[in-house]
Amino acid sequence: MIDHLSLITGNAGKAAEYAELLEMPVTPVQEDLLEIQSLDVEEVVRHKAHDAYLAHGAPVLVDDTALTLLAWNGLPGALIVWFLKARGVEGLLTMAAEETDRTATVTTAIGYADAHGVQVFTGNLHGALTRTPRGTNGFGYDSIFVPDGHDRTYAEMTPEEKNELSHRRLAVNALRTGLGLTTETNA
């Protein structure tokens, strides 16, 4: 039975979020890993999890996220972090200003690696890109993504509201099931 996990990240807040979602201790571990560049977030995570396990020598979690726009045939995908670094949220909205179809999907892929290999678990949430940033909570593209069935961006939601429906929650649920961490009391 797994009762503790290490997450490859330099972000203690992300490890705390995973600890809350997984209902177990998650320790942040900083590893300087080479990250392949691909639109496919699962491919990025599979490679990163394999390398993280080799470097760490113990079971590890890694994650990555993607934001894809239907009108852009899957861009920026897993390259979203580079789009945001280069242009920021406002720049991304400027690039998408002429798009009438603002359909977007956000995806989290979580890689778990141990001596038996790598398993990848994903969570996808469909929604739309806003025309202007809204809200002050969260990070990254949270201020410009509205999940289907909602009228607020992630950044306009409380962290608890976001965690209940987010793509990360869906990926964690898949991870819990895949690793046998789901029990009657937390299913």
| Local structure of residue 154 (DSSP, 8 states) | G
The verdict on whether 40 is a catalytic residue reads no
How many other CB atoms are there within 10 angstroms of residue 122's CB atom?
17
Active-site residue identified among 51, 63, 64, 142: 64
Helices of type H across 98-166:
159-165
Looking at residue 51, its amino acid is D
- Rounded to 5 degrees, φ, ψ at 160 are -65, -40
Q: For 84-114, give the DSSP string.
A: HHHHHHHHHHHHTTT-S--EEEEEEEEEEEE
Closest-CA residue to 175 (of 108, 106, 127): 108
Task: Please give the positions annotated as active site.
Answer: 64
